[in-house]
Every structure is written in C-alpha cells, then in structure tokens.
Amino acid sequence: MAANEDREGEAQLVGAVVAALDGDSPEQCLDAALGSLRDRGLAEHDSAGSTWLELRRGERQLRLVAAPGVEAPGPRTRALLGHALGAALARVMERDEARKVIERLELLRAASFEGILIHDQGVAVECNERLCEMIGYSREEVMEPGHMLRVVAPEDLALAQERIRSKLEGEFVITCLHRDGRRLRAEFCTKQTQLGDRPLRVVALRDVTERERTAELLRESEARLRSILEATFDGVAFTRNGILVDVSDGVERFLGLSREKLIGRSVLDIVAPASRGDVSRRIQDQAVGEYEAIALHASGELVPVMVVNVLSTINGEPVRVAAVRDLRQARRVEQERRQLELRVERSQRLESLGVLASGIAHDFNNLLVGVLGGAEILLTTLKDPDDRLLAEAIHTAGQRAASLTQQMLAYAGRGSLTKAESVDLAELWQELRSLLDATLSKKARVELGLAPDSVVLGERASLMQVFMNLLTNASDALEDKPGQIFVTTERVHEPGARWSGALGARVRPGSWVLVRVRDTGAGMDEATQQRIFEPFFSTKARGHGLGLGSCLGIVKAHGGAILVDSVPGQGSTFSILLPATELRSSSPAHAAVTTPACRVLIVDDEPLVRMHVRRLLTQSGFTVEDAPNGTAGLEAIQRALPDVVLLDMMMPDLDGVEVVRRLRASGLTVPVVLCSGDLDTARARGLEPGLVQCTLQKPFKLGQLLEAIRRARSQ
C-alpha cells in the first residue's frame, strides 16, 4: 500500500515538473519546475543535504539537494526528472547563446564604419544603420524594390547593373545620391555569398568623397605642375636608376620617338656619345641641378639641351625628374645674334674708315683744285716744249690724284651721281667684254648670260668702273691658270633671306637686277672676306686696296647691295643687287655754248682755291671778289650783289647749306653754284630743291667751271 502511494507521489512530482516546463520562456519554465521541486524539499539551497541530481550543460550547472529528512525520488523518477530538467537547461543555454549572437550582430551592425548591404539582384534583403546614415534613407526605404535607381547616380547605374549581372567581385567606385540631393563618391567592395540555396551579394560601402576630392586636388596639382614645367621647358622625363619610367609629350616631339618606345629604355640610349660620360656620372652620383648635354634625335640629329634635375617620388618610389629645354632655337638665335654683331661691327668699321676717307678726300680735293688749275694756266702761258712737258706731267699727276680721290669718296659712299640715267647692263657688259679682252688672262674663258631686261637707273661710268673691277679681279684670281668666269644678269623680285647679311642698302622685296660674277679661281678664306672692302687692304702685291672699297661705295650710292661667297680652292662669287627701272633714255648731244663774263663772288675757306679760281675767271674776263668764310660771304653778297656766287660746301663757321638758307631767307635771289668734293653731304643735310641753281664737284676744270656758271645764270 505504501509502495503504491510512493509511486503515485513520484508520478505527480514528474507531472508537476513537466507541466512547469511547458511554456515559451526557457528561464521562467526552469524556475517554475525548480519551484515545484523546492516545495517538496527536493531543491534546497543548503548544501548540507544530500545531492540527488546533478546536471551540466555547457557552462551551466544544476545541482538538486534534498532537505534533511526528505527522501529523494527513486531511480526511475530521478531519470525522468533528469531528462526533463536537462532538456530545460539546454533550452536555457540555447536561448542565452542566441541572445548573445543577436547582441553581437547588433553591436557589429551599429558600430560598423562602413555601410553593409545584402541584396538579391539589386533588391535589398538586409542593411545596417551606417548605410542608412550614408544615403539618408530609412531601413524600410532601403528594402523597397527599385531603391537602387534612386541611390545610384544615372551615369554610374549601367556600371552597377552590369557588375550585378556578371557577378563580378572586387572593388569599384561610383557616385551615389543622398536623399537631400548631395552627391557622394562611394567605394563598393562586393562578394557573392549564399544563404541556404539562395544566392546573395554582400556589399560594403565606404564614403570616399573626401579621399576622391583629395586625390582630384592632387591630380590637379600634379597636372598644374606638369603644365608649368612643360610651359617653362620643352619636355619632362622621369627616370629611376637611369631608366625612363615616364615622359611628357614634349620629349616625344623633340626626340622624334613615341612614349611607348622611350619608356623602359636607358637614358644613355638617347644621349649623344659626347655627353654620355657626364650624364652617366650624374646618374650614379644622384646629382641634381642644371647642366647642358646633347640628346640624340631619332633621325640622328644632335639636339643640344639644358636639363634641370630634381629628386621626387612616383607611387612612393624615388625617381629623378628631368625638365628639359631644347636649345636648338636658342643656339640659332645666338648664332644669328653673333653674326648680326659681326655685321654691325664690320659696318661700323667700314663707316669709320669711310668718314676718314671722306675727310681726306675733301681736303685733298681743295689742294687738287690749285694743282690742276695752276697746271692749266701754265699750259696756256708756257712756250718752251720742255716746260710744257713738265706742266703736262703735273696736270696728268693731278688728274690721277683726282681719280684716286674720287675712288676714296666712292668708297665712303659719297660719290655723287651727277648724271643718273637708265643703263642697260646687258649692253654695258658686252661693251666691257670687248674693252677688256686684251687685258684679261689669256687662259680665262668668259661666259655671259645676260637678261635683256637688265636696266637700272644710275651712272654709266661708275657702274662700268664697278664691273671692270670685278672682272679684272676674277681674272687675277685664276692666277694665270686655265679657268672660267661666268657673268649673269637677271630680274628678281624676292631676293631671299641671305641678302639680310649683304653690305650696302637694305634689301626688301621689289624690282631688282641681280648681277653675278663667278670665277673658278683660288677663292678666299673667311678672314680675307671680312676685309676685302676695307680701304688700302689688298691681296695683290701692287694693289692700293681701293678697288673693291670704291665698288661698295658706288653700289651703295646707287641704292644697291653686294654679297660675297667664296671657298678657298673653289672660286668666288660677287653678287650685286641694283634697283631696276623700266625707263630707257638716249643721250642727246649738247651744243657748245659760250659763257658771257659777269661779276662772280668766291666764298671758300681755302686760300689756294680762292687764288686759283680768281686767276681762272679773271683770265676769262670775269670780275671776281672772294670771301674767306660763310659770314664774310653773306656780308659781301649783300654789299656787292654779284651775278653768281661760287659757294664752298664745307667751311668752319657757316657751311654752304646754312649760307644758302640765310641768303634765301633774306629775300636775295642771286644764283648760287655749290662746290664740294662731297655733294652727297649737302643732300644729306636736307638741302631743299631750288635753293641752289647748280652744283660743281671738286676738283674741276675750267670748262666745267664755266659751264656751271652758265647753267646757274640761265635758271
């Protein structure tokens, strides 16, 4: 009977525990079950009792102690309670672990610095709070279908969709749109995953707007720096250990090689052999600063360059940055500048010598007036043949001296073109060829190539002197050896840039006659060419050195220019440009006229000239007075009112031009003959047409003097 009661009590105990464990909360169910056992004295906290059941599930342990005097359940009941309480304890442990997992996930989701998105073909299935903060949308809005169309910028939408379709993994950057309209750059890191049988895509988003802005500023800064370098220099090259790692477009241009062919090559491959040693040492020493070298163009041309080296980095790796300037244009400009300086220096030297020659010729002309005049008077008075021979010798020597003086004036470019007319150079050369046949080298073969329209405006005798000089010089250059002399004339309109270095007038496009005299003789070196137009410089043993100098002066007086090309052993070419004209004139014959005697005033600071002219005119029946300077001459004119005034150009107090101007300003119209050995100076002083009635070149003969007086009075 007692045994039955015990079994019923244990069954009730098991039923009460099982009923207590039937609930949703594992912790509450376990507490209720333990409470039922505690009511029966089977779950005491006092460890002094006997332990009848002990359970362990993971870190949790359950120990049931029966109170003193309470009998513990039998083995069968103990086993049933052990299974039920063990299951309850396991449920508590599982719920506890699940809660911890959820807490950790929430912590990770809330604390993440990156936005996390899990989606299926673009439709979100989960996201964290950071993602919502980044784009300004709530979690519910992110989960809505089609949300990607609102968040991804239109220009990047196709890229994002393509990566989803192709299931590409990895990193890429696109532009996202914040809810308030702001644009932000986001770096996406994507990975394919799977939840059960469902394929999903996990995306981690990082806001890289500031990083991208910094990178863009850096790129802009680098671009500006490169632009500045390329604007300042012709190219920029980056090298590492002497190997090209990058080059600018400018380097490609001035080396004639593409970027692909340059990168990876040694710097020494594009450096001329003469500079390789210096460049190699600079690379080894990691030297910085400025230096010059010679680069090698793809065509083989040597390119002088200036290089400025500095140390820098690319992607954290050390490099040398070389800013390169192409010096070819600078060298050409420098060479042209040096040539211009030499031409200016030569021109100034010739001009100085010309001033000297002009001064000597002026004073010498005054002396020759007396010499030639005295000789002419002696020839009219002497009867003894021997005396006449002496007078004729004096007159001949004076004429030769006058010719030499005219050459000096011509060299100075102050020869007067008193008889300018149209001159056919083709006819002139034919005539000159006939005249010089006997004097030229017998071994010289002269060939003429003359254009029929080679007509210039000038003085025939002066031009003949120039061409005669050039032809005889060409003959002498053959050195009595067989050779050729080529003479050509042609009309040109665009002389070419080489004429910028010519001597004489400035050459511009226009109508010109080009005369060339070329020989196959000895030629000249550069030093000789620099001096051939200087007075008194000659390569001939018996030359006086005024031939080519007077040629230059005559050409300048005609408004032309002269150019010389010569190579030792290969001959010389003298080229002359003269202004062309379309006019052709004939030379009318002048009938002989007589000059009636009149009153003449001589104004000259040279006593010998005054004495000689007075004697010539007195013997010819003229009434003559004289004045020693310009001031005295003005007083004499106002006092005596002569019929003609013979006025010297160069005087110490008032020159002839100033005397004429004051004379005309006073209202006097007396005819004036302006006398000078340098009439071009009067023209250079701006002597107005009509102020003087005639000009007379010193030295002059009696016939020329009388003709000048007649012409002055007839106007």
DSSP code string of 299-343 = TS-EEEEEEEEEEEEETTEEEEEEEEEE-HHHHHHHHHHHHHHHH
- Residue 590 has what pLDDT? 41
On the question of pLDDT at 602 being above 90, the answer is yes
Q: Which residues have CB under 8 Å from 701's CB, separation 6+?
A: 372, 376
pLDDT digits (tens, 9 = 90+) for 127-186: 888 888 888 999 888 888 888 888 999 999 888 888 888 888 888 888 999 999 899 898
d(CA 503, CA 488): 20
Phi-psi region of 136 (alpha: psi -120 to 50; beta: other; left: phi over 0): left
d(CA 693, CA 714): 9
With contact defined as beta carbons under 8 Å apart, do 692 and 674 qualify? yes
The winner for highest mean pLDDT among 348-357, 647-656, 676-685 is 647-656
pTM, two decimal places: 0.40
CA dist list (Å): 533 to 354, 537, 646: 11, 8, 35
Could you give all domains of the chain from N- to C-terminal order, each with its CATH number?
A: 2-108 (no CATH), 113-207 (3.30.450.20), 213-326 (3.30.450.20), 416-579 (3.30.565.10), 599-714 (3.40.50.2300)
- Residue 587 has what pLDDT? 44
- More confident of the two residues 628 and 338: 628
- More confident of the two residues 524 and 352: 524
- Three-state secondary-structure class, residue 153: coil
- Residue 625 has what pLDDT? 93
The winner for highest mean pLDDT among 364-368, 426-430, 464-468, 623-627 is 623-627
On the question of pLDDT at 120 being above 70, the answer is yes
On the question of pLDDT at 426 being above 70, the answer is yes
- Residue 53 has what pLDDT? 84
- Residue 1 has what pLDDT? 44
What would the two tokens of residue 180 be?
């308030």
pLDDT band at 680; cut points 50, 70, 90: low
**245-259, 615-629, 677-691, range with the lowest pLDDT:** 677-691
- Residue 76 has what pLDDT? 85
- Three-state secondary-structure class, residue 201: strand
Overall average pLDDT of the 44-66 stretch: 77
d(CA 22, CA 25): 9
Report percent pLDDT > 70 for the chain. Answer: 83
- Residue 351 has what pLDDT? 63
H helix count then E strand count, the chain: 22, 25
d(CA 649, CA 654): 9
With contact defined as beta carbons under 8 Å apart, do 51 and 64 qualify? yes
Find the radius of gyration of the CA atoms of the chain.
Answer: 59
Question: Which run of H or of E encompasses 553?
Answer: helix 547-557
- More confident of the two residues 427 and 678: 427
What would the two tokens of residue 589 be?
């014959």
- More confident of the two residues 312 and 562: 562
**48-62, 198-212, 359-373, 382-396, range with the lowest pLDDT:** 359-373
d(CA 327, CA 685): 47
d(CA 220, CA 684): 64
**145-149, 331-335, 419-423, 524-528, range with the lowest pLDDT:** 419-423
On the question of pLDDT at 403 being above 70, the answer is no
**Nearest alpha-carbon partner for 293 in 255, 253, 252, 348:** 255
With contact defined as beta carbons under 8 Å apart, do 682 and 658 qualify? no
Beta-ladder partners of 202? 118, 191
**273-282, 345-354, 446-455, 476-485, range with the lowest pLDDT:** 345-354
- Residue 656 has what pLDDT? 86
**Nearest alpha-carbon partner for 116 in 134, 102, 132, 128:** 128
Whats the size of the chain, residue-wise?
Answer: 715
**Nearest alpha-carbon partner for 392 in 377, 405, 404:** 377
